[in-house]
Amino acid sequence: MKKILAFTLVFSLVIGLTGIAFAETKITFWHSMHREHKEALEDITAAFEEANPEVDVELVDQGGYGELSQKLTTSAAAGKLPTASQQYEDWTIQYVNADLMQPLDEVVSQELIDDLPEALVNSGTFHDKLYALPFNKSAMVLFYNTDLIDEPPATWGELLEISAELTKDTNNDGEIDQYGFGLRPTPELFSLFFHQAGGKFLNEDKTELLIDSEEGIEALTYMKDLREYSLYQTGYLSGPFGSGKVAMYIGSSAGAPYVDSACEGNHGWDTAPLPDGPANGDSMIQGTNVGVFTVGNTQAQVNAGVDFIQFMIKDKWTIDWAKRTGYIPVRKSALDSEEWQKYLDENPRYRAMTQMMREGFVYPHHPDWYSVRNIFGNILEKTMLGKGEPKELLEEGAKTFAEKYG
Amino acid sequence: MSMRKVFFKVFTYLLLLLLVSAVLLPFYWMVVTSLKPPGEVNVIPPKWIPSKPFWQNYVRAWHAAPFGRYFINSFFISVMTTIGEVVTTILAAYAFAKMDFFGKKVLFLSLLGLMMFPGQLRLIPNFMLASNLGWTDTYQILIIPWIASIFGIFLLRQYFKTIPDELWDAAQLDGCNRFRYLWTVVVPLSKPGIITVALFKFVGSWNAFLWVLIMTNKTSMRTIPVGLAVFRSEAGTHFGELMAASTMAVLPILIIFFLAQKQFIQGVARSGIK
């Protein structure tokens, strides 16, 4: 009888312990990735699950970024957040302010943080703490038509010159058929030129918008000059670039697959680092980060979530991701790696993008930045349509900011 | 026919033709874009006819997301909500139009008042309710909240009001009760109104986006409009494929509209009293 009892005890203990060892932690990851991007993400996830058999990751496709943001807002209100998700900086700062997120400084190795390009650390840092790791990141580059341009412009001056040369009325009907540059009045384009002119967006306590500065006027005046030789349109420029209507434009490297399909059968294309401005030739880094939510999750889930977002950007996976999607690896060690360098030799178009990733900057973090940036869009549009002078429009913009967000 | 009459007719037809083309142009553009190879989608001047139909868009679009499942879901949810709403609406509208009861006016006005609250305002409370009921990711949450509609009740009430009370008096003399009178007399006489309500509902359910997005996480529970988001990304939109998927999504609605239109005209022709 005793034997049986002892056996039962040991047996149940063993079963119990195995149970604990294999207790599955289920985490959810919300994303907006589709097609090739989604497949690449699924492969990363499968590899993570294989390496961590105790964790089960459920990927949830929430449609586009707008929809993802809506879902996160609703779920945050109901306290039903996923374990981790993709997020833009101006979403993250709201979650951080509402105390919904896991700070990463203490749980992620310093080695990893040191391995991220500076702009990407800035992108994930809020109130001096790291809350998000970079994931799908792209940089602005210059796209140019290789049938028309041998040597891409290296400075603002050259960009203007080449644009002027290539703006032509080829069939003499009085209408311009080919433009040197394509200009889409996005807040990001203004911000890029503003930064390259040496401008600083906000004061220390983020109560003043500093665009009504010499740098602001210089950037906007330059863009106004460039407008003379530009196709001005609000839609994506990959179309007119592909059809040959536009010889150059500045856009996100993530647009490369669209450019490629638009140019197919029409003309050759390549990318170049951005022309240098008066202060620098930095590129704007775009794309989302990934962060972990504490609300609605157990400690085990939070831990697994942190492991997962670190796994996603291991050298092997950030390179695999970049190769399959057109984004750029997010770690210095990955950018330097033999594998990526070899890929660049085979795909020289990615060279400029890789360089730009190291020389990048991101927007300052402000909870209302999504609406603040519309001020830039308005200023740019008004300037381009001749509805005001740069100086007065910039002053007006700074005033609007002071009234609404100051 | 006098010259004046001919002129008037020509003018009328020209005007109608103009209006029809204004309505048809977006449809035409959708179908044509869905047949363009990627290089031709954005060219200026625009191409009105693709150089060669690019059917590949349809194949790619179909495989970009589980559209088969989305179609089944959209269809099932639209049919169920439409049936549900037609039944509840007929009953409520009849009560408001033809019966007297305590607080009828107040109740009706409060219902109309409820229409003033925008849907966005109710979204978060609704989501919390659904998630506390454990109804997220279920067909219940996609169907049950939508089987009553104030707009539908209002529309049918106005319709029922036009039916003369003499018919009810006559029916009573023949020993007919209210329920039977409603289904055998009022409903057949109100076919156009009921079909209008059903059409609105079906199209509304078919196009519903935000509710489905918020209430579901599983791919297996989602519908076509949510599926269409896969063609957009931060760097651009696959217009050819988006339009191919949109064309496929619109087809069932078009078919139903044409079928219902026939019914609609018959309904008008049959409604005995003018």
Domain count, chain B: 1
Nearest CA-CA partner of A57 in A326, A289, A290: A290
Spell out the residues 6+ positions from residue B12 whose beta carbon is closer than 8 angstroms to its own.
none
Q: Do B210 and A77 touch (CB under 8 A)?
A: no
| Residue B32 falls inside a structural domain | no
Q: Do A138 and B235 touch (CB under 8 A)?
A: yes
CA distance A50 to chain B (A): 23
| Residue B99 falls inside a structural domain | yes
| Contact (CB, 8 A) for A235 and A166 | no
Contact residues on chain B for A62, CB-CB shorter than 8 A:
213, 217
- Which long-range contacts (C-beta less than 8 Å, at least 24 apart) are formed by B23-29? B27/B250
| Contact (CB, 8 A) for A201 and A193 | no
Mean pLDDT, residues A359-367 taken together: 89
Mean pLDDT, residues A389-395 taken together: 94
| Residue B15 falls inside a structural domain | no
How confident is the model over A126-170, as pLDDT tens digits?
A: 999 999 999 999 999 999 999 999 999 999 999 999 999 999 998
CA atoms of A67 and A79, how far apart (whole Å): 18
CA atoms of A178 and A6, how far apart (whole Å): 89
A286 touches chain B (CB under 8 A): yes
A264 touches chain B (CB under 8 A): yes
Q: Do B128 and A78 touch (CB under 8 A)?
A: yes
CA atoms of A161 and B39, how far apart (whole Å): 28
Closest to A262 (Cβ–Cβ): which among B38, B210, B234? B38
A371 touches chain B (CB under 8 A): no
Q: Is pTM beyond 0.95 here?
A: no
How confident is the model over B30-77, as pLDDT tens digits?
A: 999 999 887 677 666 778 888 888 898 999 888 888 899 999 999 999
Mean pLDDT, residues A316-323 taken together: 94
Contact residues on chain A for B42, CB-CB shorter than 8 A:
235-236, 238-240, 242-243, 262
Chain B contact probe: residue of A80, A89, A171 with most B CBs at under 10 A: A80
How confident is the model over A164-222, as pLDDT tens digits?
A: 999 999 888 888 989 999 999 899 999 999 999 999 999 988 899 999 999 999 999 99
Mean pLDDT across chain B = 88
Please report the pLDDT score of residue A19 as a whole number. Answer: 45
CA atoms of A214 and A217, how far apart (whole Å): 5
CA atoms of B38 and B55, how far apart (whole Å): 12
Q: Is the pLDDT score of A68 beyond 80?
A: yes
Contact residues on chain A for B219, CB-CB shorter than 8 A:
61
Q: Is the preceding omega at residue B45 within 30 degrees of 0, hence cis?
A: yes
Q: Do A77 and B128 touch (CB under 8 A)?
A: yes
Concatenating the DSSP letter of every residue in B27-73 gives HHHHHHHHTS-HHHHT-SSPPSS-SS--THHHHHHHHHTTHHHHHHH
Chain A contact probe: residue of B43, B209, B218 with most A CBs at under 10 A: B43
Instruction: State the CB neighbour count (10 A cutoff) for residue B71.
Output: 16
Q: Is the pLDDT score of A320 beyond 90?
A: yes
pLDDT in tens, chain B (274 residues): 688 889 999 999 999 999 999 999 999 999 999 998 876 776 667 788 888 888 989 998 888 888 999 999 999 999 999 999 999 999 999 999 999 999 999 999 999 999 888 877 888 899 999 989 999 999 999 999 999 999 999 999 998 998 999 999 999 999 999 999 999 999 998 888 898 899 889 989 999 998 999 999 998 999 999 888 888 776 667 888 899 999 999 988 888 878 877 666 655 554 443 3
Q: How far is CA A357 from CA A118, A330, A352, B195, in A?
A: 10, 8, 9, 58
A71 touches chain B (CB under 8 A): yes
CA atoms of B164 and A233, how far apart (whole Å): 60
Spell out the residues 6+ positions from residue B254 whose beta carbon is closer than 8 angstroms to its own.
none
Instruction: State the CB neighbour count (10 A cutoff) for residue A178.
Output: 16
Chain A contact probe: residue of B60, B136, B230, B241 with most A CBs at under 10 A: B230
Q: Is the pLDDT score of A14 beyond 70?
A: no
A177 touches chain B (CB under 8 A): no
Mean pLDDT across chain A = 90
Of chain A, the percentage scoring pLDDT greater than 90 comes to 70
Spell out the residues 6+ positions from residue A289 whose beta carbon is closer than 8 angstroms to its own.
A86, A87, A88, A89, A92, A123, A124, A132, A133, A134, A135
| Residue B14 falls inside a structural domain | no
Q: Output the six-digit token pair for A194.
A: 């503003």
Q: Do B124 and A243 touch (CB under 8 A)?
A: no
Fold classification of A26-137+285-361 (topology level): D-Maltodextrin-Binding Protein; domain 2 (3.40.190)
pLDDT confidence bin for A13, thresholds 50/70/90: low
Please report the pLDDT score of residue A139 as a whole number. Answer: 92
A185-230+368-406 has the same fold as A26-137+285-361:
yes
Please report the pLDDT score of residue B168 as a whole number. Answer: 92
Closest to B226 (Cβ–Cβ): which among A63, A65, A75? A63
Residue of A nearest to B60 (CA): A35
CA atoms of A68 and A46, how far apart (whole Å): 22
Residue B62: domain span: 55-270
Q: Where are the alpha helices (DSSP H) in chain B?
A: 3-34, 38-41, 56-64, 67-98, 104-114, 119-133, 139-143, 150-161, 166-173, 178-181, 187-189, 191-207, 210-215, 224-227, 239-270
If phi > 0 it is left, if psi is from -120 to 50 it is alpha, else beta; for residue A35 that is left
Please report the pLDDT score of residue B273 as a whole number. Answer: 39
| Residue B230 falls inside a structural domain | yes
Please report the pLDDT score of residue B271 as a whole number. Answer: 45
CA atoms of B214 and B211, how far apart (whole Å): 5
Q: Do A80 and B229 touch (CB under 8 A)?
A: no
Mean pLDDT, residues A71-83 taken together: 91
Element (H or E) spanning A341, and its range? helix A338-346
Q: Output the six-digit token pair for B256.
A: 């139903």
If DSSP states are collapsed to H, E and C, what string results for A70-128?
A: HHHHHHHHHCCCCCEEEECHHHHHHHHHCCCECCCCCCCCHHHHHCCCHHHHHHHEECC
CA atoms of A88 and A124, how far apart (whole Å): 9
Residue A24, SS3 per DSSP? coil
| Residue B37 falls inside a structural domain | no
Q: What is the CATH number of the domain that holds B181?
A: 1.10.3720.10
| Residue B19 falls inside a structural domain | no
Domain ranges of chain A: 26-137+285-361, 185-230+368-406
A263 touches chain B (CB under 8 A): yes
Q: Is the pLDDT score of A260 beyond 70?
A: yes
Please report the pLDDT score of residue B274 as a whole number. Answer: 37
CATH class of A185-230+368-406: alpha beta
Please report the pLDDT score of residue B269 as a whole number. Answer: 54
| Residue B256 falls inside a structural domain | yes
Q: Is the pLDDT score of A3 beyond 80?
A: no
